[in-house]
């Protein structure tokens, strides 16, 4: 049973460019949450998708958008990249069962914006 997978593992972009990050959830999970983690910080919630719709959103600008596909995989898109977008982007998958939910993380995509 594959865990959460993310691609690519590393990415270098320049300011103003656009980037797309991808995530496949654990088998049986229907929910994908995206986080940004800067060095020395805890993960910051970007948004969450289930049933192919954005259901929750953190305090991130509209430059951050996403999508969830029928197979539950998800993409995170960031437009007009800024230097401050350099971070580890984490995807977590989960499913709500019996009122309980636990998130499991992929290895992350390390984005560097120059």
Partner 1 sequence: RKEVEQDPGPFNVPEGATVAFNCTYSNSASQSFFWYRQDCRKEPKLLMSVYSSGNEDGRFTAQLNRASQYISLLIRDSKLSDSATYLCVVNAAGNNRKLIWGLGTSLAVNP
Nearer to partner 1, 45 or 60 (CB): 45
Q: Shortest gap between Cβ of 42 and partner 1 (angstroms)?
A: 4
Q: Shortest gap between Cβ of 33 and partner 1 (angstroms)?
A: 8
CA distances, 39 to each of 70, 84, 111 (Å):
33, 11, 12
Instruction: Say whether residue 103 binds partner 1 (CB under 8 A).
Output: yes
**Alpha-helical runs (H) found in 1-114:** none
Nearer to partner 1, 4 or 19 (CB): 4
Instruction: Say whether residue 104 binds partner 1 (CB under 8 A).
Output: yes
Residue ranges that bind partner 1, judged by CB under 8 A: 31, 33, 35, 40-45, 48, 55-56, 58, 88, 90, 96, 99-108
């Amino acid at each position: 049973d594959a865990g959460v997978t993310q691609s690519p593992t590393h990415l270098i972009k320049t300011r103003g460019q656009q980037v797309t990050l991808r995530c496949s959830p654990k088998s049986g999970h229907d929910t994908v949450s995206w986080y940004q983690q800067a060095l020395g910080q805890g993960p910051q919630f970007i948004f969450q998708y289930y049933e192919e719709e954005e259901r929750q959103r953190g305090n991130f600008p509209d430059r951050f958008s996403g999508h969830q596909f029928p197979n539950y995989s998800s993409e995170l898109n960031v437009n007009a990249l800024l230097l401050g977008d350099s971070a580890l982007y984490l995807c977590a998958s989960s499913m709500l069962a019996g009122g309980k939910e636990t998130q499991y993380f992929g290895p992350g995509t390390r984005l560097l914006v120059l």
